Amino acid sequence: MSLLKFTASWCGPCKKIQPIVEATLKAKELQSEYRAIDVETDSGLELSERFKVKGLPTFLWVDAVGAEVKRVIGCDEEKVVALFTEFAEAAKKNARIPLLPEAMLDL
């Protein structure tokens, strides 16, 4: 399982939500156990197109084969924290589910 964070350096809402994202990742202990991948949309156009990212920021939870589980678009703090919390709970319950392989992401 992986959590993809689609952002852009010029995106105001992305900058606004970033401290919340970092605090939530740290609080949920997701930085070391599960992959949270930053995708800069300007340089990751192919990946953005693959996952049909239409707005920024977009937070996308994908399973081990790259299928979308859940998506949050925008900087609604409540929705973003809820997604990360749900992801963390699922990750802890399914600790043996492999991470999405980097090769699938073409990073």
- In which residue are the tokens 């991470």 written? 99
Q: Does the annotation mark 75 as catalytic?
A: no
| Chunked mean pLDDT (size 10), the chain, 107 residues | 92 96 81 74 90 96 89 96 88 63 54
Task: Look at the alpha carbons of 92, 98, 71, 10 in this order and tell me if their dihedral is positive or negative.
Answer: positive
Residue 3 vs residues 21, 96: alpha-carbon distances, Å: 11, 16
pLDDT of residue 96: 54
Q: Are 23 and 58 in contact (CB under 8 A)?
A: no
Angstrom CA distances, 105 to 30, 44, 51, stand at 19, 10, 10
Query: Among residues 14, 37, 62, 100, which one is catalytic?
Result: 14
**Annotated catalytic residue, options 3, 4, 11, 36:** 11
Q: Is 0.75 surpassed by the pTM of this model?
A: yes
* Known catalytic residue at 11: yes
pLDDT value, residue 31:
53
Across the chain, the runs of DSSP E, i.e. the strands, are 2-7, 35-40, 58-62, 68-73
Measuring CA to CA, which residue among 69, 67, 65, 64 is closest to residue 87? Answer: 69
Instruction: Give the per-residue pLDDT at 97.
Output: 52
Question: What is the pLDDT at residue 66?
Answer: 87
